[in-house]
């Protein structure tokens, strides 16, 4: 029996991962597409006068089975994939693209939506207005107004584009998994903390090798590049990390990128937009590329003098310490960490014993309880897709069910790098019942060893809080429609809850909840907390310029028309972008390339949107000032943020929601002040 065919009968209608086999996916997707088409045809053939309910609500509720399959498959294809799943992804991608186009280019369906749209918005709630407007725009932005020849061309573009994005991600994962740095002599481990060496030893043992094994997974790569005194080995692992899918082999992504960019540009022009960036930004807070570049240039103007000074200081420090004539990219993290420790008497290894993963998880749960009145209960009776995954039931203060929360923390070969939040099921009202969400966060933290529990760096602590902020956005959703629920908001607004929650990591009342020494139980000393705060702006100029550089690489790829796009250049566009702008202080490393593994923009949803991290920083800095004014656990402020931001999801334009919370628009000075750039 295929577990996807009927609604789940599990405790919370959660996905029965223990019943799912790879063989189930393709038949279920084909059947799901067939059911969804039948539901669309019922809307089209309905003889009654088109109304909001029999068109928009019916459309919103269609495709239930298809959603069940795809939410399981694509989440696992990122978190627990294998060659068979990747082959399935390549097979189903054109099927899903074709179905999406079947809906978005359905003239009869669009005619009904247009009829409702043309009646106006009288009598509709704000949420209903948003659903109607979004539906109308979605049809228009996906080819409903094109002629048949143009629609056929768009269908072809979408199918090709989807397959290329899948291939891009597969190549990055295969390149990441292919690299191993096996060290067999103690002298090669100089500078590495004991915990890092223990983890490397265990990894080597797990792969039946003698010595210490380092990979390109973040918990392995970051400590090595930060602490190893062996400059030659830092260079080796840096070049491997920064050249993923940039080698002259079958996993090279250069032609894949050019193909994706070409198709995106061609698609945008076909739909009447100047560039892919114009197409994307029409549905963002920023509105257009000009506003994005103006925003980035303003930040760059403020940050560049600080960044230049920081680079000069770092170069001088490396020269005085180790007679380094020219600072290279594989030196940056190493000397920054040494300089930070010398300047602030603090480093990751001093703090790590206070950040045991289990305690940090308890701390973020307690933070959520104090702010939003929810608590977390571990459930061992709910199936998971990997033994590392833990499931919690989320309840409110009245013990009412709120959500399911899946936590997946450790790296493995089938998981892509980085950290992200996702949903297995969105919140919505269905048949007058509140369907509660199933939310997951996926990270790549340091695994426990046989002698030491998983101890996080401070950066990993903020990562956990960041992804948990996204999870709160999903878990506390309280809308009517799944497509407007939780994180279904503008991309340059979606990072507000996640980046906001990071601020609590710097506050003593929050750290006291969980920052306790894993051996002694001693709370983190107040002097350490002050050092964390004092070091907050360390190298913030260079970090800001780095983010601006990535955002401009993104915009550089997506701001040209198809006809003027030069597709046969030997050099990747990013090198021209960063060198012209003067945003790269280090010598160029010919072997490295950001774009070929820039999954955010070529596999994820951030194309023409990477700027949104900095955009949302303005919002989060301004929003956190409200908490600082009234207390970081002030219930009134937290409740306002919950009601107006977290629970509201995408029900109204984000600028309206933010003004409702803050009483005004966000001020950029809050970010500049926090970052020490004014």
Residues 6+ apart with CB under 8 A from 231: 330, 331
Question: Which residues are designated catalytic?
Answer: 467
Our CA angle for 542, 548, 552, nearest 5°, is: 140
If one compares 496 and 417, the residue with the highest pLDDT of the two is 496
Residue 344: its pLDDT value, please?
A: 93
> Looking at the predicted structure, is the pLDDT value of residue 578 above 70?
no
Q: Which tens digit of pLDDT belongs to each residue from 368-399?
A: 999 999 999 999 999 999 999 999 999 999 99
* Beta partners for residue 212, in sequence order: 183
Q: What gap in Å lies between CA 587 and CA 579, rounded to an integer?
A: 10
Whether the per-residue pLDDT at 573 is higher than 90: the answer is no
Confidence band, pLDDT 50/70/90 cuts, at residue 78: very high
Rounded Cα distance, 385 and 19, in Å: 10
Q: What is the percent of the chain with per-residue pLDDT over 70, rounded to a whole number?
A: 97
Residue 575: pLDDT band with limits 50, 70, 90 = low
| pLDDT exceeds cutoff 60 at 339 | yes
**pLDDT at residue 384, rounded to an integer:** 98
**What average pLDDT score do residues 262-291 get?**
95
- Is a pLDDT exceeding 50 seen at residue 566? no
Angle at 470 between CA 389 and CA 460, to 5 degrees: 65
Query: Taking a C-beta distance cutoff of 8 angstroms, is the pair 649, 489 a contact?
Result: yes
Quick one: average pLDDT of 538-549?
A: 92
What mean pLDDT value characterizes the chain?
A: 93
Handedness of CA 38, 40, 45, 49 (dihedral sign): positive
In this structure, what DSSP letter does residue 425 have? E
Q: For position 488, what pLDDT does the model report?
A: 96
pLDDT (mean) for 174-179: 94
495: which 2 tokens?
Answer: 């990072």
Confidence check: pLDDT of 624 > 50: yes
Position 571 confidence tier, pLDDT thresholds 50, 70, 90: very low
pLDDT, residue 588, reads: 84
- List, in order of start, the domains of the chain with CATH numbers: 17-104+106-141 (1.20.1050.40), 179-241 (no CATH), 254-346+540-610 (1.10.1370.10), 353-534+613-674 (1.10.1370.40)
Q: Is residue 405 pLDDT above 90, yes or no?
A: yes
Q: What is the pTM of this model?
A: 0.87
Please give the pLDDT value at position 562.
Answer: 54
Residue-wise pLDDT for 47-68, tens only, equals 999 999 999 999 999 999 999 9
- The band of 580, judged by pLDDT with boundaries at 50, 70 and 90, is very low
What is the tens place of the pLDDT at every residue in 183-222? 999 999 999 999 899 999 999 999 999 999 999 998 899 9
CB 317: neighbour CB atoms within 10 A?
A: 18
Q: How far is CA 371 from the centre of its chain?
A: 23
Q: In what order do the strands lie in the sheet with 438-442?
A: 374-379, 390-396, 401-408, 438-442, 420-425
Give the separation between CA 25 and CA 608, rounded to whole angstroms.
Answer: 32
pLDDT of 524 strictly over 80: yes
Mapped onto helix, strand or coil, the DSSP state of residue 642 is helix
C-alpha to C-alpha distances, 421 to 468, 487, 510, 614, nearest whole angstrom:
8, 10, 22, 19
Number of other residues whose CB lies within 10 A of the CB of residue 121: 14
pLDDT at residue 486 tops 50: yes
Per-residue pLDDT at 230 exceeds 50: yes
Give the span between the Cα atoms of 358 and 351, in whole angstroms: 15
DSSP string computed for 585-627: -SPP-TT--SGGG-HHHHTSS-TTTTTHHHHHHHHHHHHHHHH
Residues belonging to the chain: 678
Residue 565 has pLDDT above 50, yes or no: no
Torsion of CA 557, 558, 564, 567, to 10 degrees: 40
Which residue, among 616, 627, 220, 670, has the nearest Cα to 412 in the 3D structure? 220
- Tell me the per-residue pLDDT of 597-606, one tens digit each, with 9 for 90 and over: 999 999 988 9
Residues with Cβ within 8 Å of residue 2, at least 6 apart in sequence: 24, 27, 28, 31
């Amino acid at each position: 029996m295929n577990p996807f065919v009927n609604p789940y009968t599990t405790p919370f209608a959660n996905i029965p991962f223990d019943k799912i086999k790879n063989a189930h996916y393709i038949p279920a997707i084909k059947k799901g597409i067939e059911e969804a088409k039948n539901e669309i045809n019922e809307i089209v053939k309905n003889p009654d006068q088109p109304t909001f309910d029999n068109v928009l609500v019916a459309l919103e509720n269609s495709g239930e089975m298809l959603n069940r399959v795809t939410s399981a498959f694509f989440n696992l294809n990122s978190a627990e994939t294998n060659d068979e799943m990747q082959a399935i992804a390549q097979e189903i991608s054109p099927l899903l693209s074709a179905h999406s186009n079947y809906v978005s280019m359905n003239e009869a369906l669009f005619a009904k939506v247009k009829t409702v749209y043309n009646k106006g918005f009288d009598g509709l709630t704000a949420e209903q207005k948003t659903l109607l407007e979004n539906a109308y725009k979605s049809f228009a932005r996906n080819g409903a107004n094109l002629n048949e020849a143009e629609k056929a061309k768009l269908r072809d573009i979408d199918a090709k584009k989807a397959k290329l994005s899948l291939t891009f991600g597969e190549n990055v994962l295969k390149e990441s998994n292919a690299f191993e740095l096996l060290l067999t002599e103690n002298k090669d481990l100089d500078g590495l903390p004991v915990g890092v060496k223990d983890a490397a030893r265990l990894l080597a043992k797990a792969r039946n090798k003698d010595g210490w094994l380092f990979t390109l997974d973040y918990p392995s790569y970051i400590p090595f590049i930060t602490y190893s005194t062996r400059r030659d080995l830092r260079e080796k692992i840096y070049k491997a990390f920064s050249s993923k899918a940039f080698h002259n082999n079958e996993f090279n992504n250069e032609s894949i990128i050019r193909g994706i960019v070409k198709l995106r540009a061609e698609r945008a022009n076909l739909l009447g937009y100047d560039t892919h960036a114009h197409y994307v930004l029409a549905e963002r807070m920023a509105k257009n590329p000009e506003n994005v570049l103006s925003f980035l240039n303003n930040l760059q103007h403020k940050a560049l003098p600080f960044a230049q000074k920081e680079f000069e200081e770092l170069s001088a420090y490396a020269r005085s310490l180790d007679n380094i004539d020219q600072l290279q990219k594989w030196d940056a993290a190493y000397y920054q960490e040494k300089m930070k420790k010398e300047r602030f008497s603090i480093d990751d290894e001093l703090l790590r014993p206070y950040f045991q993963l289990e305690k940090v998880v308890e701390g973020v749960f307690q933070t959520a309880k104090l702010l939003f009145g929810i608590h977390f209960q571990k459930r061992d009776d709910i199936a998971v897709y990997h033994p590392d995954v833990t499931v919690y039931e989320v309840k409110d203060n009245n013990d009412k069910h709120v959500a399911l929360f899946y936590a997946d923390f450790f790296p493995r070969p089938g998981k892509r790098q980085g950290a992200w939040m996702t949903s297995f099921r969105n919140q919505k009202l269905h048949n007058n019942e509140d369907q509660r969400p199933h939310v997951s966060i996926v990270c790549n933290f340091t695994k426990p060893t046989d002698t030491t529990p998983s101890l996080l760096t401070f950066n990993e602590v903020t990562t956990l809080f960041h992804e948990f902020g996204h999870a709160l956005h999903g878990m506390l959703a309280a809308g009517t429609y799944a497509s407007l629920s939780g994180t279904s908001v503008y991309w340059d607004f979606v990072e507000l809850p996640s980046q906001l929650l990071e601020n609590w990591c710097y506050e003593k009342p929050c750290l006291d909840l969980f920052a306790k020494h894993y051996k002694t139980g001693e709370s983190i000393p107040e002097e350490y907390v002050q050092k964390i705060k004092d070091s907050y702006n360390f190298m913030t100029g260079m970090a800001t310029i780095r983010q601006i550089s990535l955002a401009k690489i993104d915009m550089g790829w997506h701001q040209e028309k198809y006809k003027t796009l030069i597709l046969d250049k030997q050099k990747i566009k990013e090198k021209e972008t960063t060198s012209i702008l003067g945003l790269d202080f280090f010598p160029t490393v010919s072997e490295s390339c950001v774009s070929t593994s820039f999954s955010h923009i070529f596999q994820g949803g951030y194309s023409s949107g990477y700027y949104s991290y900095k955009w949302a920083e303005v919002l989060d800095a301004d929003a956190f000032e409200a908490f600082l004014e009234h207390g970081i656990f002030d219930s009134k402020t937290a409740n306002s943020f919950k009601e107006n931001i977290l629970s509201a999801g995408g029900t109204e334009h984000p600028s309206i929601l933010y003004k409702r919370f803050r009483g005004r628009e966000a001020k950029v000075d809050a970010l500049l002040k926090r970052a020490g750039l004014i």
